[in-house]
Amino acid sequence: MEILSPEIQYNFPVCIALGFFDCIHMGHRVLIDTAIAQARSTGSKSCVVTFSVNPFIALGTGEKLVFTYDERLRILRDTGVDCVLALPFDGEFMQKSRDEFLAMLRSCVTLRGVVCGYDYRFGHNAQGTSEYLCDFCAKNGIMCDVISPIIQNGLRISGTEVRRRISCGDIEGACKLLGRAYFMDGAVCHGRGVGKVFDFPTANLDCPPDKLLPQAGVYATITTVGEKSYRSVTNVGAKPTFGEWDETVETMLIGFDGNLYGQTIRVTFVRWLRGIRKFDSPCALREQIEKDSEWR
């Protein structure tokens, strides 16, 4: 999968899926699959637009990302898309008019087809709409498909709903909307070494500050180290038994033996197990962790 820059002119035709694709949920997959189908029918490359930075920072909303840019690239590789156009999202980008945005796309690639959602907006103050995009494509001989809302059990699939479910600890519900597991990638950093004291091999993740974390609690997870995966239990949030109140992500790997410091691992969330509470003693906490680790 090739990563394209908006500052370079590429001499090949593309069919492009437009959007943010912050979490690449099931609705997003319909857009991407449609762009891939367009590309096959026109002898073009399929392409997906996403942002290389967190757009919520420039927008001032303070929202976090379900999947970081690097995580999204890993997911997009699995979709079979040929390339990704990585756009910045800063003050200058936000000032582009809808026509300037479309001109930027055409200066970068040869547009053969475009796919967007029914509620797609682009350009300064969201002046551009899916209707405006369709009109532009019709005038320029470009295929255009607008995708209707994707409904699951009477609910429209959206990034907002995915975030809501993750934030309240409903991992299973979020995964149904995503059509895949919710996960986080991170480098293993040094913690307090409490896991070693209890004979539990633990890994503290250095998560990006704009990564959306689940509601504080203890979760059944699968932790992947290299090519091997381990059943695990992951604590998101504080560690009140030890007087630690910072929000951290610590995963305990079942059956792992080795040194993880400095490695990048993936923690895939399966379901909520319990809330965080202060135990009377480290021994009582150990007994609870042993029970947690029996999840299936």
Tell me: pLDDT of 193 over 70: no
The predicted structure's pLDDT at residue 243: 67
Mode of pairing for the β-strands spanning 217-225 and 264-274: antiparallel
Mode of pairing for the β-strands spanning 155-156 and 151-152: antiparallel
Exposed/middle/buried for 68, CB within 10 Å: 0-12, 13-18, 19+?
buried
- Which tens digit of pLDDT belongs to each residue from 253-289? 988 888 888 889 999 999 999 998 888 888 888 888 8
Comparison of pLDDT for 196 and 106, the residue scoring more = 106
DSSP summary character for residue 211: B
Report the share of the chain in percent with pLDDT over 70. 96
Report the share of the chain in percent with pLDDT over 90. 67
pTM: 0.90
Q: Which of 217, 183, 5, 222 is nearest to 78 (CA)?
A: 183
Tell me the C-alpha distance between 166 and 172, whole Å: 9
Comparison of pLDDT for 234 and 91, the residue scoring more = 234
Count of Cβ atoms closer than 10 Å to residue 80 Cβ: 11
The predicted structure's pLDDT at residue 35: 97
As a whole number, the mean pLDDT across the chain is 91
Tell me: pLDDT of 148 over 80: yes
Tell me the C-alpha distance between 214 and 271, whole Å: 11
Tell me: pLDDT of 12 over 90: yes
- Which tens digit of pLDDT belongs to each residue from 79-126? 999 999 999 988 888 899 999 999 999 999 999 999 999 999 999 999
